[in-house]
Amino acid sequence: MSETGTCEKCASEISLEADRCPECGHEPSSSGILAGLLSMLATIGFILLAGFILIIWVVAIGTSFEITSAIYLTVFVLFLLLFPAGVLVAKMNQELKTPTGGKKDWREEIFGDN
């Protein structure tokens, strides 16, 4: 696996798998403070909403709270969950970008490339 491509920033011939251009230091996956903050908020929002769904069901099952109301609430919270989930997916796609403009295979990222 020694394919090369040109860096989007300095046009140097670099490895397609490089996370960072060795010539100019171009690194698409390192985003600014704002993007970092946004993904942090999205993560917190995601966890809070997921936790909220859990609480709805613990309460619904533990008390005489109507199951239909619990279902409606769950659907509503799931809808809200789409927003932080969307931000996180966009962030993940960004993380997988390489300086050559290509995209890393997330499966390779997780399982290693054999």
| Environment class of 66 (CB within 10 Å of its CB; exposed 0-12, middle 13-18, buried 19+) | exposed
Q: Quote the least distance from Cβ 18 to Zn ion, whole Å.
A: 9
Q: What is the smallest separation between the CB atom of 114 and Zn ion, expressed in angstroms?
A: 28
By CB under 5 A, the count of residues binding Zn ion is: 8
Q: Could you say whether residue 9 binds Zn ion (CB under 5 A)?
A: yes
Q: Residue 63 and residue 22: Cα distance in Å, rounded?
A: 60
The 8-class DSSP code of residue 107 comes to: H
Q: How far is CA 7 from the centre of its chain?
A: 24
Q: Where are the alpha helices (DSSP H) in 30-66?
A: 33-62
18 contacts Zn ion (rule: CB under 5 A)? no
- 5 by DSSP, 3-state: which? strand
Residues 6+ apart with CB under 8 A from 27: 19, 20, 21, 99
- In the list 4, 10, 58, 83, the residue contacting Zn ion (rule: CB under 5 A) is 10
Binding of Zn ion by 24 (CB under 5 A): yes
Beta carbon of residue 113, minimum distance to Zn ion (angstroms, whole number):
23
Q: Does 78 bind Zn ion (CB under 5 A)?
A: no
Q: Pick one of 17, 23, 27, 95: the residue that binds Zn ion (CB under 5 A).
A: 23
Residues that bind Zn ion (CB under 5 A): 7, 9-10, 12, 21, 23-24, 26
